Amino acid sequence: METSARRSRTLKRRRWGGLRQQWQLLGLFQIDEQHEFYHLTCMMKEGLSAAIQRTSDPVPTAELSENDFKSEVTHIHKDFTMETFAGPVFASLRGSLGLTEQEYQQSLCSEHFYLQFISNSKSRADFFLTNDKRFFLKTQNRREIKFLLSNLKIYVEHLKKFPHSLLVKFLGVHRITFPRRQKKFFIVMQSVFYPDERINARYDIKGCEVSRWTDPALEESHIIVVLKDLNFEGQFITLDQQRSWLLRQVEIDTQFLRRLNVLDYSLLLAHQPLHWDERHHSFANIIIRTKRSVIPSFSPKHPVASVPGEVLEDNSSAIMSEKTLTEHASGAEMVHAFPECTVPCGDTTDVLDYQAQNRRLLPNLKNPLHVIDGPEQRYFIGIIDIFTVYSFKKRLEHWWKSLRHPGKSFSTVSPDTYCHRLQRWVQDHTK
């Protein structure tokens, strides 16, 4: 019996050694039947399917109640149970992002395997990615889940006030309990880097220098390396007209996190070159995209929960011809249609001098909230990892790092210092 058990452990170690080597080569690894997390991810899919179906059935109400934020629903399955926390709240949030329950379920519960994401992050959490790479599932500890749920109301209010907030979009909180009473909390998040087919560099920015360098992947390598602050030195996020919007939104979001007394969050950043047609938008396309950004009733698909930047599925029903748009796009009519936009004198290509918050042009992508187009590059930007509270333990860590790294900047500082330092980083690295 002992020999059999020892042989099993040896085989498991060899299998995991092989998997680790493949992860080092690929960055993403398919969770198939041979993978240790296969049964867990199958349970996640089954549980999520039932949970999403439940939120799809009721008619959504305009206002969320206190009970919605405290809601805990348990679904009992054959080999496990799954609890869903604040289900109506997250369903409402998904709707506000222009995400239907049907496409959410289709992505999370499809027959395709989840992907295991292995990065150079120090996080001990397990990261799973839907096969279409649209949503992340991340395990969290009880303290982090409690923090999120206790601040969920003000988080939702912040996103409602600033629909183009850079904060990561949490779409669900769950706990799964399986044989031998093991429990795992996990959250579902919108991926900042979606779609990622043409992304050529990814960065995790904290605004400091200690331990903020990562060796880049070798040329032609398939390794997904997330670079850091020092790797970005000498580069800029070039946005031109949208720079003021980004600076303002970073200020708004980091001040919000400062009030939550958190630190050590990251500004995720990625970029890819724009195609010629993406760099040279027609005047008609500018108007269409601005209507989507400014007028909530423009989209027939989500008339109740529309958000600036929502992407239409059926363009034929909503998009007028370029000739028709141009004929009706005089300066006076633009002011009437978009009262919050300033129409400058001069070239019509500069007709949309939109205000700083919530009124920006967005590309026609399914993830417009974290995407900003500059003149030559498309940038994916989002703020993640917002669970680290400035506790007594973190204060001690700050004291220790001050002794160990005199005169250098490191991540463990007060929320106020962290907030303003990240703001300065963005200001110094944009133009």
Question: What is the pLDDT, as a whole number, of residue 337?
Answer: 38
d(CA 64, CA 67): 8
Mapped onto helix, strand or coil, the DSSP state of residue 360 is coil
Per-residue pLDDT of the chain (431 residues; tens, 9 = 90+): 555 555 555 555 555 444 444 444 447 889 999 999 999 999 999 999 999 988 776 555 568 999 999 999 999 999 999 999 999 999 999 998 889 999 999 999 999 999 998 776 666 678 899 999 999 999 999 999 999 999 999 999 999 888 889 999 999 999 999 877 789 999 999 999 998 888 989 999 999 988 889 888 777 666 788 999 999 999 999 998 889 889 999 999 999 999 999 999 999 999 999 888 777 665 556 555 555 554 443 333 333 223 333 333 333 333 333 343 344 444 443 334 333 333 334 444 443 433 334 445 666 667 778 888 888 999 999 999 999 999 999 889 888 888 888 888 888 899 999 999 999 999 999 99
Q: Are 103 and 93 in contact (CB under 8 A)?
A: no
d(CA 298, CA 161): 20
d(CA 18, CA 171): 33
Bond into 195 cis (ω within 30)? yes
Residue 119 CB partners (closer than 8 Å, separation 6+): 27, 127, 224, 225, 226
Q: What angle do CA 56, 59, 62 make, to 5 degrees?
A: 115
Question: What is the pLDDT, as a whole number, of residue 276?
Answer: 80
Question: What is the pLDDT, as a whole number, of residue 185?
Answer: 96
Structure tokens at 262: 């958190």
Question: What is the pLDDT, as a whole number, of residue 25?
Answer: 41
Question: What is the pLDDT, as a whole number, of residue 286?
Answer: 58
How far, in Å, are 43, 125, 266, 332 from residue 73 at the CA level? 16, 24, 32, 53
Question: What is the pLDDT, as a whole number, of residue 248?
Answer: 92
3-state secondary structure 61-125: CCCCCHHHHHCEEEEECCCCEEEEECHHHHHHHHHHCCCCHHHHHHHHCCCCCCEEECCCCCCCC
d(CA 37, CA 324): 54
Question: What is the pLDDT, as a whole number, of residue 10?
Answer: 54
Q: Are 201 and 228 in contact (CB under 8 A)?
A: no
How far, in Å, are 203, 309, 412 from residue 392 at the CA level? 29, 41, 12
Helices (H), 162-267: 229-232, 243-259
Backbone angles phi, psi at 265, to 5 degrees: -75, 165
Question: What is the pLDDT, as a whole number, of residue 408?
Answer: 83
How far, in Å, are 77, 264, 266, 409, 413 from residue 402 at the CA level? 51, 16, 21, 9, 9
Question: What is the pLDDT, as a whole number, of residue 359?
Answer: 46
